[in-house]
């Protein structure tokens, strides 16, 4: 697995991005434009982990989908490694809230699916698989099917399927939201452990303030519709990290700051 060190060059750059949708047919809504994103500008450095917080429905997932290339912006610029984003690419892998594993394939078959489609040599696939399965701690479950795994194990397999592609950027959309509290903490620690080995550039959408603080180098907060970046916090905790940081007084202070900003976003204060 190749290592990417956090540098000063922008892996991702977004300038004055705008996106609107037209709601479906309905009383008083037909043809009425809904602006979801307004003048979004941000950048992410190589190897940096950025958490994206904001009230429900503020356009976080829409922004992530534009970066992924699933949808196109109406205005603005999205550059990844200096090139315009116009379509999905294996250079920007996506980890969804649900594991989205193929139920008819085993754990191993799911994880190596992308490499096989890319027609990698068998020995390279096997080498990368063995390294990745150890990273996500699923050794011994190679021939299990998704329905035989717990929710947390399914999400580990989904994470492995993304990591094995060695994409420079990983986009995460509430990847642990469907898990119970204990399993979610285990997955957070697993991601911290994986980051000791590799440092992809990561943009993660989450509603969980603690999760954003535990994992991120920097946190951006979006305001309510039309979504804009209204607040930024640089997380001061050095790496490597573990969950013991939750008990630090500084952790609590930053968490309270983020909570206040998010609370204001649910009132008339947030613009």
Residue 30: per-residue pLDDT: 56
The answer to whether 86 and 128 have CB atoms below 8 angstroms apart is no
The answer to whether 35 and 226 have CB atoms below 8 angstroms apart is yes
Which sequence spans correspond to the domains of the chain? 1-91+170-179+199-271
What is residue 229's DSSP assignment? Answer: E
Q: How far apart are CA 205 and CA 7, in angstroms?
A: 22
What pTM does this model have? 0.87
Using DSSP, state whether 94 is helix, strand or coil: strand
More confident residue, 80 or 98: 80
| H-only helix segments in 92-168 | 107-111, 113-117, 122-135, 151-163
pLDDT digits (tens, 9 = 90+) for 91-129: 999 998 777 899 999 999 999 999 998 889 999 999 999
The band of 55, judged by pLDDT with boundaries at 50, 70 and 90, is: confident
Residue 158: per-residue pLDDT: 92
Structure-derived torsion over alpha carbons of residues 235, 237, 239, 243, reported in degrees to the nearest 10: -100
The answer to whether 20 and 36 have CB atoms below 8 angstroms apart is yes
Q: Which of 236, 230, 241 shows the shortest CA–CA distance to 252?
A: 236
The band of 43, judged by pLDDT with boundaries at 50, 70 and 90, is: very high
The CATH homologous superfamily for domain 1-91+170-179+199-271 is P-loop containing nucleotide triphosphate hydrolases (3.40.50.300)
The answer to whether 156 and 100 have CB atoms below 8 angstroms apart is no
The answer to whether 10 and 52 have CB atoms below 8 angstroms apart is no
Mean pLDDT of the chain: 87
Edge-first strand order for the sheet with 229-234 is 92-95, 169-173, 201-205, 49-53, 218-222, 229-234
Residue 56: per-residue pLDDT: 84
What is residue 205's DSSP assignment? Answer: E
pLDDT digits (tens, 9 = 90+) for 183-216: 899 899 998 988 888 888 999 999 899 999 999 9
Residue 24: per-residue pLDDT: 62
Average confidence (pLDDT) over 41-61: 92
Q: Residue 176 has which token pair?
A: 């642990």
pLDDT at 247 over 60: yes
Q: How many CB atoms lie within 10 A of CB 33?
A: 10
């Amino acid at each position: 697995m190749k290592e990417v060190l956090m540098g000063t060059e922008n892996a991702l750059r977004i300038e004055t991005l705008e996106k609107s949708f037209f709601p479906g047919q309905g009383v008083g809504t037909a043809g009425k434009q809904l602006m979801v994103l307004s003048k979004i500008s941000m950048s992410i450095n190589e190897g940096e982990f950025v958490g994206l917080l904001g009230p429900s429905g503020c356009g976080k997932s829409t922004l992530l989908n534009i970066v992924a290339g699933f949808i196109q912006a109406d205005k603005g610029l999205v550059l990844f490694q200096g090139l315009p984003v116009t379509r999905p690419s294996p250079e920007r892998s996506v980890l969804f809230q649900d594991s989205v594993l193929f139920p008819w394939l085993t754990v191993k078959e799911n994880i190596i699916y992308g490499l096989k489609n890319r027609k990698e040599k068998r020995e390279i696939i096997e080498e990368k698989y063995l390294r990745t399965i150890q990273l996500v701690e699923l050794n011994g479950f190679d021939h299990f099917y998704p329905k035989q795994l717990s929710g947390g194990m399914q999400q580990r397999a989904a994470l492995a399927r993304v990591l094995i592609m060695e994409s420079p950027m990983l986009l995460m959309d509430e990847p642990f939201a469907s898990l119970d509290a204990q399993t979610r903490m285990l997955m957070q620690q697993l991601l911290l452990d994986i980051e000791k080995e590799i440092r992809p550039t990561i943009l993660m959408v989450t509603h969980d303030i603690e999760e954003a603080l535990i994992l991120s180098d920097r946190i951006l907060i979006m305001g309510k519709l039309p979504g804009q970046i209204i607040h930024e916090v640089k997380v001061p905790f050095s790496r490597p990290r573990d969950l013991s940081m939750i008990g630090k007084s500084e952790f609590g202070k930053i968490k309270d700051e983020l909570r206040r900003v998010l609370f204001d976003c649910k009132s008339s204060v947030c613009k």
